[in-house]
């Protein structure tokens, strides 16, 4: 069996992942055309590169079909229930930074914090008889965050398109979405709540807990982690 490493298949996440491994003496490269999603690993024998979309990698790790994977910490926490039981976080990689934030219309001058949002949601329900809508793709993260801060009288509505446009289109009163610079929020006349992000995401290297590891695989994993200058105590115990 070969140790499998999943990396985002295109764009800056792929390029930055290649750079991160390359700086540590492990060369990742795409083989064939861009549509083949095939690659190779040089520098450590016995590792196979699998190119997938970043959103697929958490599920593949949880299913044990990947041994290692690079993806956003937001995707792992959103997709995997009790994510720490499915994967081990090996290394934040220092790129792919984006914050999951809650944003409201800029003209809501009295809403600046989660406490303000809770009060606004209660007032909205009292006036309209329905709960205030928050559009998002990140239902688990947002629901847990709002619950932990005591926010009630809202409902999450799914957004698979441009979340920032839902307020303008009157399909939601507020949003929770990923942003790097905040420019798109400002362009859509939205402002972030001042409490800070729901989650500060970045590209992270994870190890799957469920992926089978034979004796040879454990040796390859130990060699790879050593080359990457990472200390994985669980891998060491299993070696």
pLDDT tens digit sequence for 5-40: 999 998 999 999 999 999 999 999 988 666 657 789
- Domains detected in the chain: 3-96+203-238 (3.40.190.10), 98-200 (3.40.190.10)
Average pLDDT over residues 196-220: 95
Which residues, 6+ apart, have CB-to-CB distance to 43 below 8 Å?
Answer: 25, 26, 27, 227
- Report residue 140 as tokens: 């688990």
CA angle 107, 111, 114 (to 5 degrees): 145
The tens digit of pLDDT for each residue in 47-93 reads 999 999 999 999 999 999 999 999 999 999 999 999 999 999 999 99
Which residues, 6+ apart, have CB-to-CB distance to 54 below 8 Å?
Answer: 8, 13, 70, 71, 72, 75
- Report residue 95 as tokens: 């790129």
**pTM for this one?**
0.90
Q: How many CB atoms lie within 10 A of CB 29?
A: 12
Average pLDDT over residues 118-127: 97
Separation CA 25–CA 169 (nearest Å): 49
Separation CA 63–CA 210 (nearest Å): 7
> Which residues are paired to 89 by β-bridges?
206
- On the question of pLDDT at 234 being above 70, the answer is no
Separation CA 78–CA 96 (nearest Å): 16
Q: How many CB atoms lie within 10 A of CB 126?
A: 9
The whole-chain average pLDDT of the chain stands at 93
Categorize the per-residue pLDDT at 231 as very low, low, confident or very high, splitting at 50, 70 and 90. confident
What SS3 state is found at 132?
Answer: strand
């Amino acid at each position: 069996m070969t140790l499998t490493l999943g990396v985002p298949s295109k764009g800056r996440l792929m390029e930055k992942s290649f750079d991160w491994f390359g700086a540590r003496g492990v060369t990742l490269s795409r083989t064939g055309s861009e549509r083949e999603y095939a690659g190779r690993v040089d520098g450590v024998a016995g590792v196979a590169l699998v190119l997938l979309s970043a959103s697929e990698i958490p599920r593949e790790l949880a299913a044990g079909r990947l041994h290692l994977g690079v993806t956003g910490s937001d995707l792992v926490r959103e997709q995997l229930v009790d994510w720490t039981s499915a994967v081990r976080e090996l290394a934040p990689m220092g790129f792919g930074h984006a914050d999951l934030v809650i944003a409201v219309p800029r003209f809501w001058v009295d809403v600046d914090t989660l406490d303000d949002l809770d009060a606004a949601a209660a007032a909205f329900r009292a006036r309209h008889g329905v709960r205030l809508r928050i559009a998002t793709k990140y239902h688990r993260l947002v629901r847990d965050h709002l619950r932990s801060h005591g926010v009630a009288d809202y409902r999450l509505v799914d957004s698979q398109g441009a979340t920032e446009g839902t307020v303008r289109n009157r399909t939601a009163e507020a949003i929770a979405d990923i942003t790097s610079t905040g420019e798109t929020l400002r362009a859509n006349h939205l402002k972030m709540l001042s409490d800070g992000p729901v989650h500060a995401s970045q590209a992270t290297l994870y190890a799957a807990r469920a992926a089978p590891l034979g004796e040879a695989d454990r040796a390859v994993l130990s060699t790879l982690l050593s080359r990457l200058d990472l200390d994985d105590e669980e891998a060491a115990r299993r070696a």
